[in-house]
A = this chain, B = another copy of it.
């Protein structure tokens, strides 16, 4: 719908990344440039929950220099959420409330920044708004370190997390090989079903300073084969560095920690994982009696903004900007996506894909990009991933520490 006049609202959803705020900066700074159509720029306090509770930040009251600093500030400055809207066919209470709030605050542009669950949320909201005769252009802005969104070449957040994984594995390689005694280091990397982030370990491997083995959830985890590989490394090199995705499953479809602990489910029905590296390390110690280290990259891999990729920051920012530009032109029900034109020189086009095509789908690593016997990734993967980790872009230092954005976060008065 063209020439809509009203408030532009951004919500952030799901797990943070180093650059989700860069996308927010893109949305906010671009939206503030169009006062002829956009009468107010709001940030939803904790995503869709902020909408339901009529809680918004008035971004128009922020300093532009601080909004610029969002580019290098990790996590979700306006708050994120893990709240799954029900299927409107079953229970449309939340949707009715959202329409009510959108009307009350004259919200005519809605940007939702998140992963596949969030794109599903945005899609459902958009349909309900349409059925309720409330004109509002809805655009999704992708983000996820998991890099598992459909159709788009890659996702904002992935490049920086991949750079963290590869850089840190290179540093650990140096640390884990200083003694002349046998040592097995097992590093656990995020990724429930998609192994993109663990695959980034191959970038360190390619420098000759990375892990020996990579275990992605795309392949069945075979305990016997794993212990055999580790034993070979101990016997031949005295050292083994192994990167394993938190989401690897054995032939019975069980996660490694499932053998040991009851699993709890989060609001989306996903299993809450953890402990994969630790359990494997304990088993290795038991079997081979060598020194072991279990390391989890934990939240650091998704919030280490000091190690963000310049390409990633730029693309995340541009994705937010593009969303606003498209919305004011009348585009709706789309997600901003990347289409790769070439690897060298690296070039992408910003494109739009229907929200429903990304909603609740998952793009895993192509199996033919994974080398046999957990020996890493093919050249195709390296060519794909390398452009995404290029360059540095981080907050300036103050007192030797990053000067992150400081927003006033002034609430919009409830009507």
Contacts and interface: CB of A to CB of B under 8 A. Distances in A.
Interface of A: 12, 16, 45-46, 49, 73-77, 79-82, 163, 166-168, 170-172, 174-180, 185, 203-204, 206-207, 209, 293, 295-296, 298-300, 302-307, 309, 386, 389-392, 397, 399-402, 404
Contacts of A12: 178
Contact of A300 (B163, B168, B399, B401): B168
A315 to B, nearest CB: 14
30 contacts: A12-B178, A16-B175, A16-B178, A45-B180, A46-B180, A49-B180, A74-B175, A75-B171, A75-B178, A80-B179, A81-B179, A81-B180, A163-B400, A167-B306, A168-B300, A170-B402, A171-B300, A171-B303, A175-B299, A175-B302, A175-B303, A203-B401, A204-B401, A207-B399, A207-B401, A295-B296, A296-B296, A296-B298, A386-B399, A389-B400
A166 B392 contact: no
Given A46-B179, A174-B74, A299 B303 contact: no
Given A12-B178, A75-B171, 18 more contacts: A16-B178, A75-B174, A77-B174, A163-B401, A167-B306, A168-B304, A170-B404, A171-B304, A171-B306, A175-B299, A176-B299, A203-B401, A206-B399, A296-B296, A296-B298, A307-B307, A386-B400, A389-B400
Contacts of A303: 171-172, 174-175
A114 to B, nearest CB: 12
Nearest to A304: B171
Q: In the complex, which of the residues A295, A300, A400 has the most CB atoms of chain B within 10 Å of its own CB atom?
A: A400
A76 B81 CA distance: 43
Contacts of A179: 46, 79-82
A80 B176 CA distance: 11
A391 B75 CA distance: 24
A411 B60 CA distance: 65
Contacts of A206: 399
Contacts of A75: 171, 174-175, 177-178
A178 B306 contact: no
Contacts of A209: 404
A206 B399 CA distance: 10
A259 B401 CA distance: 37
